[in-house]
Structure 1
Amino acid sequence: MSCKIFMDRGPHLSGAAVQGRLECVFHKSEKIRGIKLRVFGDERTEWIGSEQHYDEVTKRYETISFPLTGDNNLIDFELMLFGGVGETHLGPGTFNYPFTFQLPPNLPSSFMNNHGYIRYGVKAVVDIPWAMDYEDKMYFEVASPVDLNTFPMECFQPVSRSDSKTVCCWCCAQGEISLDININKTAFVPGENVKLFMTLTNMSNSNVDEVSAKFMQYVKSKVEHPHYEHKEDQYEFGFKTWSGVGAHGENQYDMEIPIPPQAPFPNLNRSSLFEISYDVEICANIDGCHSNMDLSFSIEIGHIQHQSQLGSNPLPPVEGIAPVYPPTTSGYPYPISQPTAPLVNTGGPNAGTQYPQPSQMPQPSGPPYPTGSNTGVVLPPDYQSVYPTGRPESSSSMKMKAAESHNHGDEAPSAPPTTDDLPPSYEDASKFEKK
């Protein structure tokens, strides 16, 4: 006797209906109590912790290792496929029992890293009285798309940020370096570009070797027993560099950092053991022993584009939710479920009903995902539409011009006008430029 679960691999949308069938093969008549299917979903984290303890016998400190864990149940319910009241005989023959169940809304996406997992599955049990039960288990993936239409409009407006520092040498101030950065918005979907406009003003005697920008993902994993701890992993999904600016110079940059369409962006908003966040980080690398200048923007990643961002230049349509779950990589080993089997129904007095064909299955009730030739994801507006009268002049640039107006012949020369060429004092900057 054997039993085996067959169902679509998915991923299945959170809140949608899931269908499958259980195939039971009896070589002879068997007495059973019932056939049931358990649907479960849980998240778990675990790693080894350590503590220092003083041993009174050896009069020495010793390191004691112990497991740290976190567990949380997400869903757990049962479906009775056959029987359940008293005992009955079944077989011989092959019997198919279709099943359908509804996933709760707002489930976190399936996920796995080196510290734990979020996992969903079904377990079938043929209950045999006074003997070993027949069982089968199968895991399936759940995708929970993030809808940017639920985000406030502030996430789709330009944001400005600035920073400055005084460069010193042997306790003597050499001048100020300033960064003024505008980002086009703070909420994106995979496949879009993060657009940055930056003004770098160098009023010091040091060169800025290069400017870099990168897109980072941070995943925090937490344990709760016997005490709370967390670990954070970071993943770099995009990195670009540009040439810097010489002493007493200024440069402006139009930057674009792509959001990779096939990178893993799971929805962990409803998870209690995992957190995920994203940053765009900009760094100005200052020559010499000076510390660099760093600025960052926290951004949100969703899967369903905001309606205000749809326009005349859409990205290629995204079918299904493939961008949410890329192929398995060493950094993100996603669980692999069993393949779908062809329909087999050999009949019999107690056989289950015919397994429904895909065309007869109800459509998922979860949020729609952009599909079709007339919809999709679009790039955000460029800076000419955001600033129709021209880009705003940075505060650092205005300060520099004010300083130049007070310069005299015995003072430091003013910065040269901004051109496409590098300043004279930074002739070798081109060797640092990376495309």
Structure 2
Amino acid sequence: MPTVDSFTLSCDALNEENIFSEGDVVTGQVTLSLSKETKVKKLFVKAKGDADVRWTRQRDDRTKTYHAHRRYFKLKQHLIPEDSEETVLPEGIHVYKFSFKIPSENMPSSFRGIHGSIVYKLEAKLSRSWRMDSTADKELTFVSKSFSNFNTLLCQQADSTEKETGIFSKGQVHIDATVNKTAFTPGETMLIVAKVNNATSRNMTPKFKLIRTIEFLANGDSKNEEYSVQKVVDKVIKPHTKHEVRCELQVPTDEMPSIENCDIISVFHQLKVYLDISFAFDPEIIFPLVIAHPMFRDRVSGNLGPYPVEGFGGPTNSDFPPPAVAGGLYPSLPSCGPYGYPGAQGPSAPPPAYPEVHNGPPGAYPPQPPPMYSVPQAPFPYGPPPSFSSSSSPAAPAFNVPPSGPQIQPPFPSTIPSAPGLNPPPSAPDMSADFLSQTNDDPPAYQLLFPPPNLENADTK
């Protein structure tokens, strides 16, 4: 009798379609039923997403295999502590819950084809000593929310072409075609208008075809598969006539979505508008299309409710609306320089608003000196300047001392000890005479200004 009666893995559904996208949280449980007490080494569950491509090609009696692999994420959660050697589980049913958050990265949707696949799944494994591992897995349906240039997907497409019919007939044919938009969902109808100017001698038939192309890439080579998904044939256009053709082409309800964000598997769609002319080259116009998942029907059709078109798709992979223009829901912020300080303002930009500065409580800081508008006069270090009032010597020019500045009360003691007074040398002349008050008196004698040195006290050589 086996010890493990059952080992299953289940996943909780987030929506009616049971699909997951970037940033979603996957929750579920692992159920283990034991018929008796069992020693378990490991019990864990993994979530991962992988893309694989493989095909073979015969060349010169040799078979070459092309293979490529891409891993988008791998998450692992231990349901029994990893550092424990063996854990004894009693008989009965054991339920372990788990939770994973899918990374918010640009990843392709689930896909399965002849030569490759993109698979997202959960795997649970139970390991025991001297026993085969018990495993359980469940595949997840992953739908990518990433669309490149989503704004252009809702715009009308238009193109034109003209061509000579060939050597079996004379004349030229011209065709103008439009399709109402680029993105569609399965079951939606595209509106096509073609204006044909048949200036030839041949009959021609307008045709419209929806084409799906799957491309696999590996080892520098590619493998392509092309399918005609839907086709509409209109009435024959007679020679030397003009005709406008209106066509409604419905996308099949089971058509697979386009895949543009995988580097080894691509699924893209095209609308081919052409004129079928017997024994001539058919003029054609190719429109690129995007087939989105049915869950995006409202958004692809433009029925977004309160959110604008820009609220979906793009590199952010987010369903939240983007910031509005300046003055709207999210006003523009001023540019900032290094370290968060306001950057340089333009000549017409208003000055930045700086926060109001509040003074602290009184006495918290010492009083600051008032602003100085003139340089204060420091006291003369050697006392007041001498007055030249002697009548025996010519008066020196009077210097008007500028008025002193306002008295400054610094926060620290301003009493500075004055330098010691210096007495003039004994041999200095008397400079107290007011030279300007003199008249025509003779100047003082040279000996008075420059007395001879005292030679008596000089040292002899």
**What letter matches 2:127 in structure 1?**
D
Q: Which residue of 1 aligns with 2:303?
A: 310
Q: Check whether the contact 1:125–1:133 (CA below 8 A) recurs between aligned residues.
A: no
Q: Which residue of 2 aligns with 1:206?
A: 202
Specify the SS of the correspondent of 2:266: strand
Shift of 1:367: 4.8
The verdict on how the C-alpha distance between 1:153 and 1:126 changes in structure 2, with shifts beyond 3 A counting, is closer
**What letter matches 2:275 in structure 1?**
A
Q: Which residue of 1 aligns with 2:92?
A: 93
Specify the SS of the correspondent of 2:236: strand
Question: Structure 1, residues 296-337: CA drift from partner, whole Å, max 9, x if none?
Answer: 11122224244882299xxxxxxxxxxxxxxxxxxxxxxxxx
Question: Structure 1, residues 200-246: CA drift from partner, whole Å, max 9, x if none?
Answer: 111111221x111011111111223xxx2211112222111101211
Asked whether 1:114 is paired with 2:122, we answer no
Higher strand share: 1
Q: Check whether the contact 1:5–1:136 (CA below 8 A) recurs between aligned residues.
A: no
**What letter matches 1:4 in structure 2?**
T
Q: Which residue of 2 aligns with 1:301?
A: 291
Asked whether 1:37 is paired with 2:37, we answer no
**What letter matches 2:153 in structure 1?**
C
Asked whether 1:69 is paired with 2:62, we answer no
The verdict on how the C-alpha distance between 1:39 and 1:135 changes in structure 2, with shifts beyond 3 A counting, is farther
Larger Rg: 2
Q: Which residue of 1 aligns with 2:10?
A: 6
Asked whether 1:249 is paired with 2:244, we answer no
**What letter matches 1:309 in structure 2?**
G
Once residues 245 and 284 of structure 1 are traced to their aligned partners in structure 2, the CA distance between those partners, rounded to angstroms, is 9
- Which ranges in structure 1 are unaligned for 5 or more consecutive residues? 53-62, 313-364, 369-435
Once residues 163 and 187 of structure 1 are traced to their aligned partners in structure 2, the CA distance between those partners, rounded to angstroms, is 23
Written as runs of structure 1 = structure 2, the 5 A alignment for 1:258-269 is: 258-265=250-257, 268-269=259-260
Asked whether 1:126 is paired with 2:132, we answer no
Question: Structure 1, residues 5-26: CA drift from partner, whole Å, max 9, x if none?
Answer: 2225733333211122111122
Shift of 1:133: 4.8
Once residues 307 and 281 of structure 1 are traced to their aligned partners in structure 2, the CA distance between those partners, rounded to angstroms, is 21
Higher relative contact order (CA 8 A, sep 6+): 1
Q: Check whether the contact 1:119–1:139 (CA below 8 A) recurs between aligned residues.
A: no
TM-score, length-normalised on structure 2? 0.59
Match of 1:179 among 175, 199, 210: 175
Specify the SS of the correspondent of 1:309: coil
Once residues 190 and 318 of structure 2 are traced to their aligned partners in structure 1, the CA distance between those partners, rounded to angstroms, is 28
Once residues 151 and 108 of structure 2 are traced to their aligned partners in structure 1, the CA distance between those partners, rounded to angstroms, is 24
The verdict on how the C-alpha distance between 1:147 and 1:116 changes in structure 2, with shifts beyond 3 A counting, is closer
Q: Which residue of 1 aligns with 2:275?
A: 284
TM-score, length-normalised on structure 1? 0.62
The verdict on how the C-alpha distance between 1:307 and 1:255 changes in structure 2, with shifts beyond 3 A counting, is closer
Shift of 1:188: 2.2
Q: Which residue of 1 aligns with 2:214?
A: 219
Question: Structure 1, residues 83-140: CA drift from partner, whole Å, max 9, x if none?
Answer: 2222331112211101111122333222111102111222222232x42253213131
**What letter matches 1:109 in structure 2?**
S
Asked whether 1:79 is paired with 2:87, we answer no
- Which ranges in structure 2 are unaligned for 5 or more consecutive residues? 306-316, 321-461
Once residues 66 and 192 of structure 1 are traced to their aligned partners in structure 2, the CA distance between those partners, rounded to angstroms, is 42
Once residues 207 and 31 of structure 2 are traced to their aligned partners in structure 1, the CA distance between those partners, rounded to angstroms, is 57
Identity %: 18
Equivalenced residue count is: 296
Once residues 274 and 107 of structure 2 are traced to their aligned partners in structure 1, the CA distance between those partners, rounded to angstroms, is 37
The verdict on how the C-alpha distance between 1:15 and 1:366 changes in structure 2, with shifts beyond 3 A counting, is farther
